[in-house]
């Protein structure tokens, strides 16, 4: 009798453990399948049947759709004249909202990666970014930003690193390995010890805007000795973008990424006044680039954001006295879609296909087709 009871207990335990194992296996399979879909099932991959000699991509870091709408209210509306307007999904492989490293990698290399990672996929393989492809095709390329050039977004177009916080390592790659022709922004601390190595017969090293303007070399690293690039005057994001274009222009064409970096910074700190100053400066850069494209055939201009920051919410009846720091609802990134605007070759292809919602990785494929690389 005792033996029978013992066997019954043992059998019950076996059944319970079998059920637990089956459930865990099912969860594992479901989770694996879900992760596989999350990693691989994204993007529209639109066909672009036009080519451009030059592509200029302007990224408003953290500039969500409500940021753009608020800009319109103040007349910061250069994008309104552009030929195409759609939206972009911004998620990374992570379940939380993307960071700037994963977003920059998605745009620059067309692949979803983990947050913090710059041009390395989830298997640890280095990715080829759009700048490298441009150089392989005989074109020039570069970046012009308002924060450190070692920060996540510019690094996504000029470096490979599994940790975006390794700014010294990123700087060394930009100096020694990256083939970017122009790298303009802040972060002098990381470059000054290597200035003698940076300067060559073909590459300049500049720490003031005046030095950059005077440079006659075909490439340069310019890391300005200021805490903040001004929003007004001669030295602005718009002016360094035009200096970048001056150095990049050549018969084979170029790719340039311009970033309004501190829209994100001040959205994180819920600082409406400074965020609006950065938004105005970014709008001015968009305006001068569009003016350049208008007189430069076969130049495509793309304006978008890497993600939304601050969870900005606007009242139904917007008025100046209602615009304050309280319109931010978080100090973090959100998973909200962002805007994308395109003018020049490529815009008509998207309009004709009625494609108005894309993934951030699609931007890479759009640019690659435009440049035929």
Cβ count near 274 (within 10 Å):
16
Question: Considering Cα of 151, then 156, then 157, then 158, what sign does the dihedral take?
Answer: positive
Q: For the whole model, what pTM was predicted?
A: 0.90
Kindly indicate the confidence band of residue 27, based on its pLDDT and cuts at 50, 70 and 90. Answer: very low
Structure-block tokens of residue 347:
């815009």
Contact criterion met (CB below 8 Å) for 104 and 359: no
Give tens-digit pLDDT for 243-273.
Answer: 999 999 999 999 999 999 999 999 999 999 9
Q: In what order do the strands lie in the sheet with 203-206?
A: 203-206, 219-223, 182-186, 140-148, 254-260, 54-60, 299-304, 338-343, 84-89, 357-359
pLDDT, tens only, 28-69: 444 444 444 455 568 999 999 999 999 999 999 999 999 999
Q: How far apart are CA 318 and CA 327, in angstroms?
A: 11
Lowest mean pLDDT among 21-35, 103-117, 192-206: 21-35
| Tens of pLDDT, residues 158-198 | 999 999 999 999 999 999 999 999 999 999 999 999 999 99
CA dihedral 183, 185, 186, 191 (to 10 degrees): 10
* Digit-coded pLDDT (tens) for 289-300: 999 999 999 999
Are 13 and 334 a contacting pair, CB within 8 Å?
A: no
């Amino acid at each position: 009798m005792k033996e029978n009871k013992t066997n019954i207990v043992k059998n019950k335990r076996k059944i319970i453990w079998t059920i637990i194992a089956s459930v865990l296996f099912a969860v594992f399979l479901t989770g694996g399948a879900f992760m596989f879909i999350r990693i691989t099932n994204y993007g529209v991959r639109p066909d672009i049947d036009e080519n451009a000699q030059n592509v200029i991509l302007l990224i408003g870091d953290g500039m969500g759709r409500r940021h753009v709408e608020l800009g319109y209210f103040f007349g910061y509306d250069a994008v309104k004249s552009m030929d195409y307007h759609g939206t972009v999904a911004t998620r990374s492989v992570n379940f939380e909202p993307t960071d700037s490293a994963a977003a920059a990698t998605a745009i620059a290399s067309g692949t979803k990666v983990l947050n913090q990672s710059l041009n390395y996929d989830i298997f640890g393989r280095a990715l080829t970014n759009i700048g490298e492809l441009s150089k392989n095709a005989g074109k020039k390329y570069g970046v012009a930003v308002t924060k450190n050039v070692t920060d996540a977004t510019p690094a996504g177009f000029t470096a490979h690193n599994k940790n975006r916080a390794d700014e010294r390592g990123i700087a060394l790659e930009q100096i020694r390995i990256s083939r970017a022709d122009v790298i303009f922004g802040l972060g002098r601390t990381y470059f000054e010890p290597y200035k003698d190595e940076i300067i060559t017969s073909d590459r300049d090293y500049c720490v003031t805007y005046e030095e950059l303007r005077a440079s006659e070399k075909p490439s340069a690293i310019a890391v300005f000795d200021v805490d903040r690039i001004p929003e007004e005057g001669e030295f602005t994001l718009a002016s360094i973008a035009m200096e970048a274009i001056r150095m990049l222009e050549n018969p084979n064409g170029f790719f340039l990424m311009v970033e309004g970096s501190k829209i994100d910074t001040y959205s994180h700190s819920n600082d409406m006044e400074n965020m609006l100053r950065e938004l105005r400066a970014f709008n001015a850069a968009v305006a001068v680039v569009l003016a350049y494209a208008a007189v430069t055939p076969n130049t495509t201009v793309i304006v978008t954001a890497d993600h939304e920051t601050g969870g900005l919410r606007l009242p139904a009846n917007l008025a100046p006295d209602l615009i304050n720091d309280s319109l931010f609802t978080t100090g973090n990134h959100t998973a909200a879609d962002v805007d994308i605007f395109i003018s020049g070759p490529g815009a008509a292809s998207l309009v004709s296909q009625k494609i108005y919602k894309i993934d951030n990785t699609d931007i890479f494929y759009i640019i690659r087709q435009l440049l035929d690389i």
